[in-house]
Structure 1
Amino acid sequence: MTEYGRGQGSEPWHPQDPLYGDQGWGQQAEHGQPAYGGQGQYDPQQPQQAYSGDWGTGQQPGYGQDPGHGYGQDPGHGQDPGYGQQSYGGQQGQGWDNTGAHGQVPYGSDPMDPYNTGQNAAYGGEQPDYYNTPGAYPPPEPPGRRRAPEPEQTEWDAGPDQGEHAFFGGGGDEDDDDEGRGGRRGRGGKKPKKRRSGCACLVLTVIFAGGVGGVGYFGYQFYQDRFGAAPDYAGAGNGETVTVVIDKGADGYTIGQRLKAAGVVQSVDAFVAAQSSNPDGKSIQAGAYVLQKEMSASSAVDLLLSPKSRANLTIPEGTRNAAIYKLIDAKLKVPEGTTADVAKKEYKNLGLPDWAEKHANLKDPLEGFLYPSSYAAAKGMKPEAVLKDMVERADDKYEELDLGSRAKSLGLDGPWQLLTVASLAQAEGTSHDDFRKMAEVVYNRLKPGNAQTNGMLEFDSTYNYVKGQSKIDLGLSELRKYDNPYNTYYYKGLPPGPIGNPGEEALKGALDPTDDGWYYFISMDGKTSKFTKTNAEHQKLVDEWNASRNND
């Protein structure tokens, strides 16, 4: 007889079996036959609860009743093999006929659940514990009949077609979903998620593809910027010319930006690389250049180094403003007189220093401030821009030479007079070696009470300036009769202002004159000048010069 208690099988029951809790199932019966299909018995000391429902009739004796009946004894329906003998899934037993046909389903709503009493409880809900084993709920099933766990509901349920139809087929109606999974809803108690519609999925696919494409594009750009070759045109340009102005002191990156903005090069990095690889790349000068659009970076560097591309306006030393205005008009391809008109109207807005303002009887307030140098000047530029660049260059040079503080030491009123002296030396000198001597002549003649000239400068250049000419053969009668503040044959002292634009050497000559006692000078061949200290020596040279020219 099977003992209700601990089995005496060859293997001990496993107290830590997570499926069975504290009671050991799987104990061998006293005679070696497995009770309950090889599973251990309950301890009789535990309180027993009647199990409602007879297997076959609905009246099953409760566990723990008289063992005389034996497991599987059914007084109303004969012998029923015990749990250890009855097979679930095809063997004969009560409720099945000899042909295997199932005559009646005596179980509740679920014929596959032998423990169901007809009262379905929702998963996760509270159910009675028939075996008083809280750790082993739900009750274990007999061997061979343990049901596979219900598949866990997830956020995405592919359905019977593994997702293909549900995802792309457009099915998503609740009626269809209820019909296909009604049983699952009944047992699970959860309403299944709706299927995704085909349109929504298509939109998501497009968005996803666009995102991937965007990430790929920016990734490629990042790679190109960091590791790829800089974009560059090929060839020497497309034939369309453009003028580019390079500022003084501009570095390669700044030049590259200017060229890229004008459409000359494709990228700044390509130009910087080409400039660095060229041995003469760092010698690019400031100025205006005529280039072509869509040039390779190396071609642009070569052209910037070539004098042929220069669109600069070069102002020679001593050039008067009137001549400079005409040069600017020609370079900018504007009507003649345009720049002169701008200078007359806008001279106060072009950057003149304070000491250059408020001088009377000036023929041109900008005279002396269009500093001799090379400037960017090309078609499309404004005259104001060119003039302002020239004035700025003059201001920088005059500040560099410190005209303001040096004027007083030379007996002058200020930098304005010093600039005027430099313009006279520039106009009368025939070489750079003359400028210091020529400046001494001016300072000596300006000395009050000098016995040689009595304060008269008598420079032909001042008369020529006011007349707008450059004549050499001038008669004394003509020179001494013309009443004009600029005519130093008519008025003592310096003219009202500069009579041209002196260069750096003339400025330095005015700042550092010789001290040899020169009062007179004459140019015999137009290339060199001869200086004398007395009027008698000077008159001798004048007679020689007149004889060479057959002058009376």
Structure 2
Amino acid sequence: MTEYGRGQGSEPWHPQDPLYGDGGWGGQEAQQGHEPAYGGQQQHYPQQQQPQQYDQWGNPLDPYGQTQQHPQHPQQQQQHPQQQYGQQPYDNTGWATGTHPQAPYPGDPADPYGQQAAAYGDQQPDFYQTPDAYPPPEPPSRRRPEPEPETDWDPGPDQGEKDFFGGGNDDEDFDETGDKPGDEPGGRRGRGERRGRGGKGAKDKKSRNGCACLVVALVFAGGVAGVGYFGYQFYQDRFGSAPDFAGGGNGEQVTVTIPKGATGAVIGQELKRAGVVKSVDAFVAAQQRNPDGKSIQDGVYTLQQEMSADSAVELMLSDESRSNLIIAEGKRNADIYELIDQRLEVDEGTTAKIAEEDWKSLGLPEWAQNHDNVKDPLEGFLYPSSYPVTKGQKPKDVLKQMVARATERYEDMGVEKKAESLGLENPWQLITVASLVQAEGTSHDDFRKMAEVVYNRRKPGNPQTYGKLEFDSTYNYIKNQSKIDLTLEELRNYDNPYNTYYYRGLPPGPISNPGEDALKGALKPTDDGWYYFISLDGKTSKFTKTNAEHQKLVEEFNRSRNN
């Protein structure tokens, strides 16, 4: 339709629109739509609101565009005859001084018959066409910019913040009528009124307050208890006595293995784990009180459960509790194998068979392997000491432990470095010399002199023996015996590398397991020129430098035996 047609025109403007109040097309469109300029019936809708219009002097206009207080000047009507068709004058700002009321737009969904009502003359009063209803809109140049929305809006303690102890919650319950608990029928109370009365909300609040206080009280009590506990523990650790059993045990025997080099704390841990003592601190304190407490050795001990720390220390210092396998100095391997079988409660010969078959995997050092004519490669490497051997262990593990102990001791004593300085080919020969010293000597005082006898006799050009050792111990070793009365005919006619009456020099390997003193004697022999020795009482030896001196001692020995 054209601008003079009957179209509905543009949609009504919202009051917040910046151009709201400008007649514009609205005023003209209403009159050009063939509605009467004056005296015509204006259609009004209950929800349509029209602003008050003013003329150029600020006087309000009536619904028909006429000034209510001052009559319109004739010259204005003559100058602007077109005003009766809806055209309106403008001031110097371009803003209409008097705008004819706009025709209402049909679009209220609540009154689909509004136009028909207007057509039949049903007029509805416009309650907004009063002088004080709306002030005249300001021109665009004088309008203030709209305020920017706030971004740090604080809803206040009643809306956005929760009271920790009150447990405030905006999600309050409603009854079936839509009212909150305690409201009058059909209405709702204010927040302050609801809180001021003792209804369900007040009870819930009190309940929540009580729960919160209870939680705080429990947390506080737990903290106090924790501080008290740790304070008590601190006092006990610093000033209190360590927990301890009373008495000598409850009669239940246990076997405890103490490792080598174990400190008092480590021993205490082993005893506590076995139930012997009640605490490690109690055992350490008892060990420190006993002057001999630090001499507790490694090994296997048979003790009782629930012993006082003092009684445990005392028992471990005695020989009654120690059940280690003791390897004496000078023991041969054949005897040690039997001892291991007995301790492990295995068949006789089990350990000897493992030693014969698996000797290469038992940890021998490189210099102790691959020697010719050796009867037992492990001879000399089952070091004399105390070993924790108990039933259930494997023989191979026990042998490994002994070989490791020997290797460690030999390395500490420097046998590999000192062998060459003593005129020996290798450390293996040094261990062999020490085994001879151990077998022939009768006391520790003899070992250095006995070592010198060995070194002097093994020299091929010596004028006394011409390179032969002539030791009875080597013959007894190969015969696996320990005899004293041996004839020269028997000794010199037995062909065996270990028979030093038959072969010159050292035997193929050690004939026993030397102890520390014998090793020290072999490492530091005397230099007095000794070649011969004899023991008259079986306890001490007498040494001589010549064969004539030696024969006199032999005759003395024979007379003592005949008497």
Taking structure 1 as the reference length, the TM-score comes to: 0.60
Compare 378-387 and 245-254 and name the one that shifted more.
Answer: 378-387
Structure 2 residue 381 is the aligned partner of structure 1 residue 372: no
Q: For 1:11-410, list aligned pairs within 5 A.
A: 175=175, 180-182=181-183, 185-188=188-191, 222-228=230-236, 229=240, 230-410=242-422
AA matched with 2:190: R
Secondary structure, counterpart of 1:307 in structure 2? coil
Change beyond 3 A, Cα 1:438–1:273: closer
* Partner residue in 2 for 1:120: none
* Partner residue in 2 for 1:448: 460
AA matched with 1:238: N
Change beyond 3 A, Cα 1:250–1:463: same
AA matched with 1:530: K
Secondary structure, counterpart of 2:248 in structure 1? coil
Change beyond 3 A, Cα 1:279–1:422: closer
Compare 343-352 and 390-399 and name the one that shifted more.
Answer: 343-352
1:303 offset after TM fit, Å?
2.1
* Partner residue in 1 for 2:5: none
1:217 offset after TM fit, Å?
7.7
* Partner residue in 2 for 1:466: 478
1:544 offset after TM fit, Å?
4.5
Secondary structure, counterpart of 2:356 in structure 1? helix
CA contact (8 A) 1:275 1:298 kept: yes
CA contact (8 A) 1:247 1:287 kept: yes
Distance (whole Å) between structure 1 residues aligned to residue 226 and residue 512 of structure 2: 60
Gaps of 5+ in 2: 1-157
Secondary structure, counterpart of 1:289 in structure 2? strand
1:339-387 deviation line (CA, Å, top 9, x unaligned) = 3344334433443222212222222222112222333334454444543
CA contact (8 A) 1:173 1:194 kept: no
Match of 1:538 among 539, 550, 563: 550
1:186 offset after TM fit, Å?
4.3
1:247 offset after TM fit, Å?
2.8
Query: RMSD across aligned C-alpha pairs, in angstroms?
Result: 4.1
1:51-93 deviation line (CA, Å, top 9, x unaligned) = xxxxxxxxxxxxxxxxxxxxxxxxxxxxxxxxxxxxxxxxxxx
CA contact (8 A) 2:165 2:213 kept: no
1:209 offset after TM fit, Å?
11
* Partner residue in 1 for 2:424: 412
Change beyond 3 A, Cα 1:327–1:214: farther
Identical-residue share of aligned pairs (%): 64
1:244-281 deviation line (CA, Å, top 9, x unaligned) = 22233322211111112222223222322333344443
1:400 offset after TM fit, Å?
2.7
AA matched with 2:234: R
1:462 offset after TM fit, Å?
0.7
Q: Which has the larger radius of gyration?
A: 2
Secondary structure, counterpart of 2:254 in structure 1? strand
AA matched with 1:181: G
CA contact (8 A) 2:167 2:209 kept: no
Distance (whole Å) between structure 1 residues aligned to residue 213 and residue 360 of structure 2: 67
AA matched with 1:404: E
* Partner residue in 2 for 1:421: 433
CA contact (8 A) 2:173 2:180 kept: no
Taking structure 2 as the reference length, the TM-score comes to: 0.59
* Partner residue in 1 for 2:502: 490
Change beyond 3 A, Cα 1:500–1:217: farther
Secondary structure, counterpart of 1:242 in structure 2? strand
Compare 428-437 and 325-334 and name the one that shifted more.
Answer: 325-334
* Partner residue in 1 for 2:3: none
1:213 offset after TM fit, Å?
9.3
1:423 offset after TM fit, Å?
0.8
CA contact (8 A) 1:155 1:193 kept: no
1:464 offset after TM fit, Å?
0.7
Change beyond 3 A, Cα 1:224–1:265: farther
* Partner residue in 1 for 2:25: none
Distance (whole Å) between structure 1 residues aligned to residue 229 and residue 460 of structure 2: 78
CA contact (8 A) 1:444 1:517 kept: yes
1:210 offset after TM fit, Å?
9.8
Aligned residues: 389
1:20-57 deviation line (CA, Å, top 9, x unaligned) = xxxxxxxxxxxxxxxxxxxxxxxxxxxxxxxxxxxxxx
Secondary structure, counterpart of 2:320 in structure 1? helix
CA contact (8 A) 2:165 2:209 kept: no
Distance (whole Å) between structure 2 residues aligned to residue 419 and residue 293 of structure 1: 44
